[in-house]
Amino acid sequence: MTSKLELQNVRKSFDDKVVLRDVDLAVGHHDVICLIGSSGSGKSTMLKAINLLVPIDEGQILLDGTEITAPGVNPNQVREKMGIVFQAFNLFPHMKVIDNITLGPRKVHGLPQDQAEDHARQLLEQFGLTDKINEYPDRLSGGEKQRVAVIRALAGEPDLMLFDEVTSALDPELVAEVLNVIRGLKDRGMTMLIATHEMGFARDVADRVCFLDQGMILEQGPPKEIFSSPREARTQQFLQRIIDAGRL
């Protein structure tokens, strides 16, 4: 069976700094993959490359067996199949919640406004935000903004979701509500790549954990294996620092 997503020998540099080095990764249908590693290890760049926000220098990225990094590929058509959520919520401040959510389905997918709004209301109800439908983003808490950002990504009905440190900008007490949203997506079978500093969450939710260091996937495996008995010295060092900081 074809993988949902494949990265083959992907390389990316910014000027003379290599940020992705010969990255190989296969993501199966309904897999949840957590990317861990220190800041600057390449996690965010990998997600942006998958979403075609950053062009790669070498290698290939395939979605459902089709190369999406080939010349002539329309990135907007590719992005219709995936959603991406960043740590900065990126909501339009001048638009109400309902309008933030329905903009993409209306403009990109050509969905009539009434259908787009019906779908948005269903999603808001699922995520406990029905009462925020007509609020502007500046009247929402950080956790609510991030949940709206997730809903906006889901409104396009993607079959792959990318999460880039979505809890990093939140107060600690708001982290749990966003992580619970992602757990719910796992329960629904969503394929996800999640860059995260939340090690306990990665241990609980991931099917596979990838440790990145200096742009390489240095080690990957089931959470129990990576967190309990990592093989690589650099992985051991990273996790020991996390343990010493009381975060695992």
pLDDT at 167 over 90: no
pLDDT of residue 45: 96
Question: Can you say whether the dihedral through the CA atoms of 108, 109, 112, 113 is positive or negative?
Answer: negative
Residue 13 half-sphere exposure, CB side, CA atoms within 13 Å?
6
Query: Mean per-residue pLDDT for 124-129?
Result: 88
Q: Report CA Rg, the chain.
A: 18
Question: Can you say whether the dihedral through the CA atoms of 128, 92, 157, 175 is positive or negative?
Answer: negative
SS3 77: helix
pLDDT of residue 231: 93
Q: Which residues contact 55 (CB under 8 A, 6 or more apart)?
A: 49, 69
Q: For residue range 185-229, list pLDDT tens digits in order.
A: 999 999 999 999 888 889 889 999 999 999 999 999 999 999 999
pLDDT at 148 over 80: yes
| Higher per-residue pLDDT: 165 or 171 | 165
- Yes or no: say if 208 and 221 are a contact pair by the CB < 8 Å rule: yes
pLDDT of residue 219: 96
How many H helices and E strands in the chain? 9, 10
Query: Mean per-residue pLDDT for 28-35?
Result: 96
Q: For residue range 79-114, list pLDDT tens digits in order.
A: 989 999 988 878 999 999 999 999 989 988 888 999
Q: Identify the band that residue 151 occupies on the pLDDT scale cut at 50, 70 and 90.
A: very high
- Please provide the average confidence, as pLDDT, over all residues in the chain: 92
How far out from the chain centre does Cα 62 lie?
Answer: 17
Q: For residue range 39-75, list pLDDT tens digits in order.
A: 899 999 999 999 999 999 999 999 999 999 999 999 9
Q: Which helix (H) or strand (E) element contains residue 53? A: none
Name the residue type at position 227: F
